[in-house]
């Protein structure tokens, strides 16, 4: 019973913040507008709300195959980023949000494409429930996407800078790569650490959103 009530409460919070995001962008929608859409359970609720407004915008660029499938199922056209010049808003969730709006993302393994679409957008709107708000990043393990052949090398390099990497067994990203979930990292300087990890040969991208942090964070209680 407790688990069922907790699930309903979490779902209610996600629906609430999805509705907040719709309210935030609704009056700004126009027929030529392209939206950027993230990945994850909160974004799934946002897509369900967004379908009622699909006649007011052109379509979306998606950050994952899962979100693309859900967008198509709801009658929202999905565009390739290469074919799009302007993305007005990027809407996505997060695993952790700091007081400075720095994020950890990638619990669903889609952070590389999420960061690409976020960087291509005019405004990044992060939608989360209050449990994702933290005083400092790092309780949630930091996902690092790696080329499969480099996984052991990258793991050793991460250990050398203080992290404890765990291979996400059985998971393959949309790009065909692996994920290391890194515990015990000092993320007091997110921008510096984001660049440091990304400079390790074999790393595709990591889940710190420092340079690409959201301009707007909407929080559901």
Catalytic residues: 114
Tokens representing 68 are: 């693309």
Pairing of strands 103-104, 78-79: unpaired
Cβ atoms of residues 219 and 13 within 8 Å: no
Cα angle 214-117-189, degrees, rounded to a multiple of 5 = 45
**Could you tell me how far CA 100 lies from the centroid of its own chain?**
17
Cα torsion for 68, 71, 73, 76, to the nearest 10°? -130
Q: What length does the chain have?
A: 221
Which of 5, 17, 10, 8 lies closest to 216 in space, CA to CA?
A: 17
Cβ atoms of residues 81 and 116 within 8 Å: yes
Q: Which residue has the tokens 């290469």?
A: 82
Which of 169, 173, 137, 144 lies closest to 159 in space, CA to CA?
A: 144
């Amino acid at each position: 019973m407790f688990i069922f009530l907790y699930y309903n409460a979490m779902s209610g919070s996600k629906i609430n913040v999805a509705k907040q995001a719709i309210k935030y962008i609704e009056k700004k929608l126009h027929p030529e507008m392209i939206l950027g859409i993230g990945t994850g359970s909160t974004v799934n609720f946002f897509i369900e709300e967004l379908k009622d407004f699909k006649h007011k915008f052109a379509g979306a660029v998606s950050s994952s195959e899962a979100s693309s499938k859900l967008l198509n199922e709801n009658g929202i056209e999905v565009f390739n980023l290469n074919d799009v010049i302007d993305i007005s808003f990027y809407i996505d969730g997060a695993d952790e949000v700091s007081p400075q709006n720095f994020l950890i993302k990638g619990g669903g393994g889609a952070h590389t494409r999420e960061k690409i679409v976020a960087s291509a957008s005019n405004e990044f709107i992060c939608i989360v429930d209050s449990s994702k708000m933290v005083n400092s990043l790092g309780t949630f393990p930091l996902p690092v996407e790696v080329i499969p052949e480099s996984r052991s090398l990258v793991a050793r390099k991460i250990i050398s800078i203080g992290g404890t990497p765990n291979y996400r067994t059985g998971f393959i990203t949309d790009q065909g790569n692996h994920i290391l979930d890194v515990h015990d990292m000092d993320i007091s300087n997110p921008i510096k650490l984001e660049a440091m990890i990304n400079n390790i040969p074999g790393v595709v991208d990591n889940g710190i959103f420092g340079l690409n942090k959201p301009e707007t964070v909407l929080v559901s209680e």
